[in-house]
Amino acid sequence: MSEEPTAPAYDIRKVLKALPHRYPMLLVDKVKSIDLGERIHAVKAVSFNEEFFQGHFPGAPIMPGVMQVEAMAQAAAILGIETLELAGTGKLVYFMGIENAKFRAPVTPGCLLDMEVEFVQKRSRVYKFKGRASVEGKTTCEVDFTAMIADPPSD
């Protein structure tokens, strides 16, 4: 995955405009680069103050693998929403499937989790992605996943 930025980086304000997620579920702090229609490189600053560290695990905090996958899905959501110019429309990105998830190394407080996600397949509203998370170049998680863009549930 390319490291050369093809669009300006997104700070937290622009991330908040692209995603509906908020604390404690917002898991993208910054977008380092985005190549619309192709790939995104986003970052999560992992803090000891994350709620999941209270129970996973006391005395030996490790970011749950599913949270790494969720963080990559949020990065993919930014890529999809920005590519399709849907920011501000209220559309949501929903997980449909997670495949080939592999957890390679623990993620601990104080780490910067780099997330690189790329489109693998695009259809009408359903998209397949490949994601890789790493800390200081060491892979922590790899996953393939499918998501769809849809309207939020009606009240």
Length of the chain measured in residues: 155
Whole-model pTM: value is 0.92
Q: Where are the domains of the chain?
A: 12-150
Superfamily of domain 12-150: Hotdog Thioesterase (3.10.129.10)
Contacts 24+ apart (CB under 8 A), 48-51: 48/109, 48/110, 50/24, 50/109, 51/24
Residue 119 and residue 40: Cα distance in Å, rounded? Answer: 9
What is the model's pLDDT at position 137?
98
What is the model's pLDDT at position 88?
84
Please report where in the chains the tokens 């093809």 appear, as a residue: 6
Catalytic residues: 56
DSSP H helices in the chain: 12-18, 65-83
Q: Are 74 and 28 in contact (CB under 8 A)?
A: yes
What is the model's pLDDT at position 2?
47
Residue 149 and residue 93: Cα distance in Å, rounded? Answer: 5
Tens of pLDDT along the chain (155 residues) come to 545 445 568 999 999 999 999 999 999 999 999 999 999 999 999 999 999 999 999 899 999 999 999 999 999 999 999 998 988 888 899 999 999 999 999 999 999 999 999 999 988 889 999 999 999 999 999 999 999 999 988 87
Q: Is 147 helix (H, G, I), strand (E, B) or coil?
A: strand
